[in-house]
Amino acid sequence: QACNKDLIINTDVLVEDIHFSELSTSSQNAGWKAVTANFSDLACSGVEKILGITVGLVAPPSTPWCWVDGAYEGINNALSQFGGKLLGGDCSSGKQKILSITAIGTKGPLDLHRSNAQPGDYLVSSGPHGLSRLGLDLMRSDNFTKSLRLSDSLKEKAIKCHQQPEPPLKALSKLITSKPTMLPWKAAATDSSDGFLEAIECLCTSSKCSAILEESNIPIDENLPKDKKLINWCLEGGEDFELVVSLPPIWANAWIASMPSCKKIGIMAQGPPQVIWSNGEKILRNSAVKFEHFSNN
């Protein structure tokens, strides 16, 4: 069917033992996650409608067919929930399982780009961070998570955040409908799939601004204890798939009012591309926590 709108196209790759493993991710969840990671990237680009995806699958010859069948079941489940059609793809043998998905959508009215941040903008997160990393460690039976007094419902929520993340399409919709009429269709955004702090640093680098964060406002789930390790997971754990947006204060306040999960986390300011606390201290990175695509996780 002909489309007379600009397209947004994104490719995301999930690699076994980097982004998923059999210890924590079923094939159904791997398929689901491959789709939703792509849709999260479309959301932070201002997608209006998701048209469809293509799938590239690599698997060792010894892979049971039930794994492949499960992966496509997860793919179809995600498409059924969030939209789009399976348009085609390719498959090949290889040394490890790889799911590479290209997603295609139409561009909406909102120009979302990392370079659009301005000094004086508010920084807003569409939801809490750190739950995905908590879910992963709960499944690994980590000694630290065993020591936490967490409710069963919170444990289930964290594991679901890791295994079946949802793209921030509702958050994008609320962002669009809450825009004050006098403002242009322009804001800066990215998603936090590679980490909350990493997302803000990307906005700073692209927009040539500094970001000043309020330590008391970091977007950690309100039911989690304020433990240093959990705070580090919030900052750098990755795979949370929330929007991190820089936008004018009047728009930020309207978005927060329309979506209770949103939270103001800081402001953009003139200065070199950097992220600092409001007291002027540098935010120290934690290499043991930071999500890395090129390391074994």
- For residues 200 and 242, the answer to whether their CB atoms sit within 8 Å is no
Q: How far apart (Å, rounded) are the C-alpha atoms in residues 227 and 116? A: 34
Strand partners, 129: 220
Measured in degrees and rounded to the nearest 5, phi and psi for residue 143 equal -60, -35
pTM of the model: 0.92
Looking at residue 2, its pLDDT comes to 52
Alpha-carbon distance 99 to 133, whole Å? Answer: 21
pLDDT per residue of the chain (297 residues) written in tens, 0 to 9 = 556 789 999 999 999 988 888 888 899 999 999 999 999 999 999 999 999 999 999 999 999 999 999 999 999 999 999 999 999 999 999 999 999 999 999 999 999 999 999 999 999 999 999 999 999 999 988 788 888 889 999 999 999 999 999 999 999 999 999 999 999 999 999 999 999 999 999 999 999 999 999 999 999 999 998 889 999 999 999 999 999 999 999 999 999 999 999 999 999 999 999 999 999 998 877 755 555 544 444
**Encoding tokens for residue 283?**
């935010």
Whole-number pLDDT of residue 294: 41
What the block records as the tokens of 204 is: 């700073």
In the three-class reduction of DSSP (H, G, I as helix; E, B as strand; rest coil), residue 10 is classed as: strand
